[in-house]
Structure 1
Amino acid sequence: MKSFTLAAALSLLTANQEIGIDERVEAILQKLTLEEKVGQMTQVTLDVLTKGPNVFASDEPLVLDPQQLDIAFAKYKVGSVLNTANNRARTVDVWNEIIGQIQQKAIQETGIPIIYGIDAIHGVTYTAGATFFPQQIGIAATWDTAFARKGSEITAYETRASAIPWNFSPLLDVARDPRWPRMWETYGEDVYLVAKMGEASIKGYEGPDNDLSSPKAVASTIKHFPAYGAERSGKDRTPTWFSEVQFREYFLDGYKVAIQAGAHSIMINSGVINGLPVHANPRLLTKLLREELGFKGVIVTDWADIENIHNRDKAASSHKEAVKLAINAGIDMSMVPYNFNFCDHLIALVKEGEVSMARIDDAVRRILRLKVELGLFEKPMPAKTDYPEFASAQAQQEAFNAAAESITLLKNKDNFLPLKPGNKLLVTGPNAHSMRTLNGGWSYSWQGEKVYEFSSAYHTIYDAIRLENGEANTTYVAGVSYKDDGDWYEEHQIDIDAAVTAAQGVDAVILCLGENSYTESVGNFNDLYISENQEKLALALIATGKPIVLVLNEGRPRLIRRFEAGMQAVIQAYLPGNYGGDALSAILFGQINPSGKLPYSYPKYPNALITYDYKPSEVQTVMDGVYNYQNSVEFQYPFGHGLSYTEFVYSSLTLDRKTIAPDEDFTVNVTVTNTGGRAGKEVVQLYTSDEYATITPDNKRLRGFEKIELQPGESRQVIFKLNGKDLSFVDYELHRITEEGKFIVTIGDESQTINVTKTKIFDTYNRIF
């Protein structure tokens, strides 16, 4: 047993209340051996510590293995554990029991509590009974940062109730390619929207003052730094190639704002940027992240990504070499996760002089500081009585509200919606009667395939419509259903004729299409069109002549051009969580007025995947009959689009000045009026366009947004305060610059021009690539 016990550690923390955190951390650090320091830098998954056939699987019911605990804590002094076992959710009681036993062993052997981490991305992913919110793409669709903050606040509370103080969220990657399978984990395609949502989420997780000693706060983790999701192929964890101008202009600000918001840790991009694995790139991890952006927290790898430098990316000749590259690049903690080779290699590298003790101390100092700030030395485990509001009625209502405000009405021909209860309805499609599709991945299990074991208390889309419309008036026929025990994209039990027959006797059809749950590389595909079977179902139902409401329940925008024209209405539900069926039903029947807006551009064609802020040259016009390019910008639905059951009119857009200096403040005012017959919420979106610039300017850029609620006939003035720097961009010389010239400010269909009198450089960046 280690002589440096928990009592000794606690005495260092409490003997002198004048001692600050840094001094406390330093006192502990100086007591540790090299082996103990390396152990603090090591993170293993829970399956490694349990009884089972191997380190990849555990027996059920879950039991810790004393021999494995000895290896992890007595021999290797491991400082962190993550994940669940057997890819399965656990109850709060089980989590507290298991983590309590791990803490007891770790403290007994090392004197230092472990820090337990989990991916709780839309609620506590692996805790049974937790409150599940919409996935991040749905939160973004609310265009209301209050939902990002409140959802994260409730998730933090319920994560702490599970005895877990460290959350690997929020994901602040910018999803500018709809093919990417992790698009639904993001806040969309625009870096400004991502930054605002991410900032609110971090304050929700960590509290307004980032006080991690609060029993209601968790340490948040920005992921995945930097520019994850920019893969050229559109497939997960494939290479990224781009210029530094593009990198800084569209991908970096979300992380930067999150760092300024006080996030305590950051997870690294699993991929390769411009030929070099990010985990082995000191320019990105040290020069950019530490020095330029000033990040002071813990840098943790993603799953097995130090091994991947050698095994997958072939950028190191051995695992030991990969460890050397990653630690010297700036990694603090390795998410190993299945073995202890990292420890052996790193100890050897330090003894051989290949990794300095100063680099080790730097990493361990940050890890210890995080543990001290979380209060783990004083209270390594919560009291069971500390969390009486776990999955409370209020938390569930917040999740329902978020789902309701995320759901986006994309089309409503002849005001077909809302429906009146009592009409004969057919509810059909593979997503019509599935809790798995409503929640998506990271829901009770990694891929979301175990959702049925935990979701019997919630309503599918069909359940919710039946409850509102009546059993006798509501028919369900799948038409097409997913093969839930196979790959996410597999479909079986295809009986389109049965759906067509059922449609003959109804007034309208609710057609629920989209995707089954998936995440990460499992969701890679080769065809952005919605599946062939679902398209056949849609076309067959259109041929019946019945009015159809298309409900899309998908993690990314699957192409629907071939049948969209035959739909009377189209609704995007995204992945709304356990209360998504209820929220959708309330919108269909008019109890709630839809207010969601698209956080991405919904493409119409597979070779036209541009974003809303496209460049002028991406639009070609016919010139003297010479050119006949199919290059017009044609979205199925544009970024920021979303309809309501009422009408909003914009008027009187004014600027408090027509001319400004490049660093001068200015105010934009616009009047919004609800001219319809019912109350509604509207997202007021402010865009700017640079008429001419030294780098070809974007079509437009989002610079502000605010969600407001108006009663029928009510008008409100909405005010945005901007600065000339908000009109800036990154130029070819890596300057953050606002240039002299004209800029167009647009809100709705109103616009005004503002003139900048001269050019100003605000920042000059060091080249990273």
Structure 2
Amino acid sequence: MATHSLAPSVADRVDALLSRMSLAQKLGQMVQGERASVTPDDVATYHLGSILSGGGSAPGTNAVADWVAMNDAYWAASMRDGDGQLPIPLLYAVDAIHGHANVRGATVFPHNIGLGCTNDPDLVERIARVMAHEVLATGVDWTFAPTLAVACDMHWGRTYESFSEDPARVASFAAGYIRGVQGDLGNDGVIACAKHWVGDGGTTAGNDQGDTAIDEATLEATHMTPYYPALEAGVLTVMASFNSWNGEKCHGHRYLLTDVLKGRLGFDGFVVSDWDGVDYLHEDYGTAIAMAANAGVDMFMVSVEWKQCLELLHRQVEAGIIAMERIDDAVRRILSVKLRFGLFEKARPADRPWSNSATFGSDAHRDVAREAVRKSLVLLKNEQALLPLSKSARILVAGKNAHNRGHQCGGFTVAWQGETTNEAIEGGTSVWEGIQAVAPQAVLDESGASANAAHHDVAIVVIGEKPYAEGMGDIRAGGRVEPGSQVMVKPHTLAPYGKTIELAQLHPEDLAVIQHIAAQGIPVVTVFVGGRPLVVNAELAASQAFVAAWLPGSEGQGVADVLLGAHPFTGTLSFAWPTVAAPTYKASAPLFPRGYGLVTG
């Protein structure tokens, strides 16, 4: 694995800074607090190296200008000189994982599961570039993306964050994504973060934050493979994973973080923890912090108790439990990333070239997202070549996801768990709005109650999941378990999305709408909106055509483009489609294999 040696000028500048830093200043660089619990004065007083926004955490009215003003205030605080402070610009980070979807009016792209179906790495690189520009418009420096998980079980609530169950397909997008986000590390890029290291998608039964019980050869071949091109492309940060590997938490796993990632693979950026991720290592917080630091975590992401984290870090160093050599290594890595990114030379956020850019949420950006939607759609069934439809057809549009931009964007959109209304997603189009714009005889009736073969030639029924993120998206019969885990320091209490991957059980209302319309003698085109393949045998049987649209994001017009023939179907499944709702995803032969997808001319 290639390494990226520090330029002599960077190394010298890091050495010069380290020689001037007190222990308190060094430890401050290692802590990342959440904006709701950190003031600009806190940044100055405690020498904090980074701030983040958790899901749904936004300043003011959540407008672009509010973000710039907030970041400018934090930056100014970090650059105060005197009174024991050394000016070191802080990094601000967000989860911009499918566009800068935290912010009102952003361009929201399809989630990774849809992008994996495009087979188009160049498109994904262009998406990453647009996303970086919208992040820059808000004065932000760093995004926690890309997710390079290889999801192995549809029960996992983060399946939609994975490009594919095929490590090679995930790897095919990695380098371009990093290039798109980081650019040349000048004014046109932000810092990328490959996550989650490592094995997050391989947990038993798909339990979020669970145990990945596999041998090292399988871990490397399946879950490490996508990281190699990301590291070669120069990704500057890597996030540790919540999961365990054979019972040992990754946040405290020195072999995986230090020996493999930093040693054998030559990663010379820094490792950031996940949200309060070190808390799960031990009942005693100070012990947990020492375990993580000694394992190789360089920066601690802390939601609220960041002051306590700082205090306990200090105690562990004074007690000799964490060596100064380890502290200096962590701070050296953090400072070198800031220097390589040019952060010391960049203007304050309010004066940066992209801040408050009018390109945020622009038509040009939305055109890229619309292209991504078109290429991500997968046609699973098309009896009698029903699709594409004629724009002059009398179309009944139905289903709970037909006119709901929140549902089609999914989780990590404005709020952590996503939104459930049109009003929350400013800009873009719902699937219905996209159809309405080009099919003058189309009508909307979400319930399908008005279906009448005398009035409707065909029906488009948009069904599927509602938004979720992480653990609340898990599908499991009972509570979470972690077989073989060291300790259950923090029991997982998030309620699951449901108990089965059979859509008719999760959302019986969908099948009811399809069957009611079909019973009127109207051909049904079913469009599935959701974050993973679900068992849809009954829905498929009652439909003449069936389309997997995944979580297409804000540009529902892209779905209409393909349904109504302006563009062909070209997407292919990046995951096999399950046949039965068994406890494990691959309990039987798939209904549709990975790579399946009908095409239209």
TM-score above 0.5, yes or no:
yes
Matched, 1:564 2:564: no
Q: In 2, are the aligned partners of 1:73 and 1:110 still within 8 Å (CA)?
A: no
How far the C-alpha of 1:380 sits from its partner, in A, is 4.7
Alignment of 1:717-732 (within 5 A): none
Whole-Å Cα distance in 1 between the matches of residues 285 and 450 of structure 2?
58
Matched, 1:157 2:133: yes
* Structure 2 letter corresponding to 1:164: V
How far the C-alpha of 1:127 sits from its partner, in A, is 2.5
Matched, 1:327 2:298: no
How far the C-alpha of 1:431 sits from its partner, in A, is 0.6
* Structure 2 letter corresponding to 1:589: L
SS at match of 1:602: coil
| Normalised TM-score (structure 2) | 0.89
**Aligned residue number for residue 511 of structure 1:** 461
Whole-Å Cα distance in 2 between the matches of residues 451 and 259 of structure 1?
39
Q: In 2, are the aligned partners of 1:180 and 1:236 still within 8 Å (CA)?
A: yes
SS at match of 2:582: coil
Matched, 1:32 2:32: no
**Aligned residue number for residue 50 of structure 2:** 80
Q: Which structure features the higher share of helix residues? A: 2
SS at match of 1:30: helix
* Structure 2 letter corresponding to 1:222: A
SS at match of 2:200: coil
**Aligned residue number for residue 443 of structure 2:** 475
* Structure 1 letter corresponding to 2:581: P
Deviation digits for residues 637-663 of structure 1 (CA, Å, limit 9, x no counterpart): 2111111113xxxxxxxxxxxxxxxxx
Q: In 2, are the aligned partners of 1:132 and 1:577 still within 8 Å (CA)?
A: yes
Matched, 1:532 2:525: no
Q: In 1, are the aligned partners of 2:316 and 2:322 still within 8 Å (CA)?
A: yes
Whole-Å Cα distance in 1 between the matches of residues 50 and 122 of structure 2?
32
| Normalised TM-score (structure 1) | 0.70
Whole-Å Cα distance in 1 between the matches of residues 287 and 54 of structure 2?
30
How far the C-alpha of 1:86 sits from its partner, in A, is 5.4
* Structure 1 letter corresponding to 2:596: H
How far the C-alpha of 1:292 sits from its partner, in A, is 1.5
Cα pair distance change 1:290/1:556, threshold 3 Å? same
Q: In 1, are the aligned partners of 2:56 and 2:414 still within 8 Å (CA)?
A: no
Alignment of 1:602-617 (within 5 A): 602-607=577-582
**Aligned residue number for residue 257 of structure 1:** 229
Q: 2:274 aligns with which of 285, 288, 302?
A: 302
Cα pair distance change 1:365/1:380, threshold 3 Å? farther
Q: In 2, are the aligned partners of 1:165 and 1:374 still within 8 Å (CA)?
A: no
Q: In 2, are the aligned partners of 1:426 and 1:503 still within 8 Å (CA)?
A: no
* Structure 2 letter corresponding to 1:366: R
Q: In 2, are the aligned partners of 1:426 and 1:502 still within 8 Å (CA)?
A: no
Q: In 2, are the aligned partners of 1:416 and 1:568 still within 8 Å (CA)?
A: yes
Matched, 1:244 2:212: no
Alignment of 1:436-451 (within 5 A): 436-449=406-419
Q: In 1, are the aligned partners of 2:451 and 2:520 still within 8 Å (CA)?
A: no
Q: 2:549 aligns with which of 573, 580, 588?
A: 573
Aligned residue pairs: how many? 559
Whole-Å Cα distance in 2 between the matches of residues 330 and 385 of structure 1?
35
Q: 2:332 aligns with which of 361, 365, 387?
A: 365
Whole-Å Cα distance in 2 between the matches of residues 205 and 25 of structure 1?
24
Q: In 2, are the aligned partners of 1:299 and 1:332 still within 8 Å (CA)?
A: yes
Whole-Å Cα distance in 1 between the matches of residues 418 and 577 of structure 2?
25
Q: In 2, are the aligned partners of 1:444 and 1:451 still within 8 Å (CA)?
A: no
Q: 1:378 aligns with which of 342, 345, 356?
A: 345
Whole-Å Cα distance in 1 between the matches of residues 359 and 431 of structure 2?
27
Q: In 2, are the aligned partners of 1:172 and 1:254 still within 8 Å (CA)?
A: yes
SS at match of 1:527: coil
SS at match of 2:190: coil
**Aligned residue number for residue 41 of structure 2:** 70
* Structure 1 letter corresponding to 2:103: T
Whole-Å Cα distance in 2 between the matches of residues 358 and 173 of structure 1?
32
* Structure 1 letter corresponding to 2:196: H
How far the C-alpha of 1:240 sits from its partner, in A, is 2.2
**Aligned residue number for residue 201 of structure 2:** 229
Whole-Å Cα distance in 2 between the matches of residues 464 and 412 of structure 1?
21
Cα pair distance change 1:35/1:568, threshold 3 Å? same
Q: In 1, are the aligned partners of 2:386 and 2:545 still within 8 Å (CA)?
A: yes
* Structure 2 letter corresponding to 1:539: Q
Deviation digits for residues 8-32 of structure 1 (CA, Å, limit 9, x no counterpart): xxxxxxxxxx961110111001111
SS at match of 1:328: helix
Q: In 1, are the aligned partners of 2:374 and 2:567 still within 8 Å (CA)?
A: yes
**Aligned residue number for residue 640 of structure 1:** 595
**Aligned residue number for residue 185 of structure 1:** 161
SS at match of 1:521: helix
How far the C-alpha of 1:297 sits from its partner, in A, is 0.7
**Aligned residue number for residue 343 of structure 1:** 310
How far the C-alpha of 1:293 sits from its partner, in A, is 1.4
**Aligned residue number for residue 662 of structure 1:** none
**Aligned residue number for residue 722 of structure 1:** none
SS at match of 1:585: helix
Q: In 2, are the aligned partners of 1:72 and 1:78 still within 8 Å (CA)?
A: yes
Q: In 1, are the aligned partners of 2:153 and 2:205 still within 8 Å (CA)?
A: no
**Aligned residue number for residue 572 of structure 2:** 597
Whole-Å Cα distance in 2 between the matches of residues 557 and 258 of structure 1?
27
Structure with greater Cα Rg: 1
Matched, 1:144 2:99: no
SS at match of 2:326: helix
Bigger CA drift: 114-123 or 76-85?
Answer: 76-85
Whole-Å Cα distance in 2 between the matches of residues 577 and 356 of structure 1?
47
Deviation digits for residues 61-83 of structure 1 (CA, Å, limit 9, x no counterpart): xxxxxxx4434431x22111001
SS at match of 1:535: helix
Q: Which structure features the higher share of strand residues? A: 1
Q: In 2, are the aligned partners of 1:73 and 1:106 still within 8 Å (CA)?
A: yes
Structure 2: unaligned runs, 5 residues or longer: 1-6, 476-498
How far the C-alpha of 1:610 sits from its partner, in A, is 5.7
Deviation digits for residues 184-221 of structure 1 (CA, Å, limit 9, x no counterpart): 111111000000111110111112xxx31x11111110
Bigger CA drift: 394-403 or 452-461?
Answer: 452-461
Deviation digits for residues 287-313 of structure 1 (CA, Å, limit 9, x no counterpart): 11111211111100000011122xxxx
Whole-Å Cα distance in 1 between the matches of residues 245 and 363 of structure 2?
45
**Aligned residue number for residue 478 of structure 2:** none
Cα pair distance change 1:110/1:338, threshold 3 Å? farther
Q: In 2, are the aligned partners of 1:103 and 1:380 still within 8 Å (CA)?
A: no
Whole-Å Cα distance in 2 between the matches of residues 592 and 407 of structure 1?
11
Q: In 1, are the aligned partners of 2:451 and 2:517 still within 8 Å (CA)?
A: no
Deviation digits for residues 695-720 of structure 1 (CA, Å, limit 9, x no counterpart): xxxxxxxxxxxxxxxxxxxxxxxxxx
How far the C-alpha of 1:392 sits from its partner, in A, is 3.6
Whole-Å Cα distance in 1 between the matches of residues 37 and 86 of structure 2?
18
* Structure 2 letter corresponding to 1:367: I
Cα pair distance change 1:563/1:122, threshold 3 Å? closer
**Aligned residue number for residue 61 of structure 1:** none
* Structure 2 letter corresponding to 1:466: Q
**Aligned residue number for residue 91 of structure 1:** 63
SS at match of 2:229: helix
How far the C-alpha of 1:424 sits from its partner, in A, is 1.8
Deviation digits for residues 416-464 of structure 1 (CA, Å, limit 9, x no counterpart): 1111122222111111110012111111222221764453432211122
Structure 1: unaligned runs, 5 residues or longer: 1-17, 50-67, 310-315, 480-497, 612-617, 619-630, 647-769
How far the C-alpha of 1:350 sits from its partner, in A, is 0.7
Whole-Å Cα distance in 2 between the matches of residues 103 and 456 of structure 1?
28
How far the C-alpha of 1:539 sits from its partner, in A, is 2.9
Whole-Å Cα distance in 1 between the matches of residues 55 and 74 of structure 2?
14
Q: 1:405 aligns with which of 367, 375, 384?
A: 375
SS at match of 1:604: coil
Deviation digits for residues 331-387 of structure 1 (CA, Å, limit 9, x no counterpart): 000001212111111111111110100000000001011111222222252425544
Q: 1:584 aligns with which of 559, 570, 579?
A: 559
- Percent identical among aligned pairs is 31
How far the C-alpha of 1:563 sits from its partner, in A, is 3.1
**Aligned residue number for residue 269 of structure 1:** 241
Q: In 2, are the aligned partners of 1:443 and 1:451 still within 8 Å (CA)?
A: no
Whole-Å Cα distance in 1 between the matches of residues 41 and 353 of structure 2?
31
SS at match of 2:293: helix
Whole-Å Cα distance in 2 between the matches of residues 464 and 85 of structure 1?
28
**Aligned residue number for residue 390 of structure 1:** 360
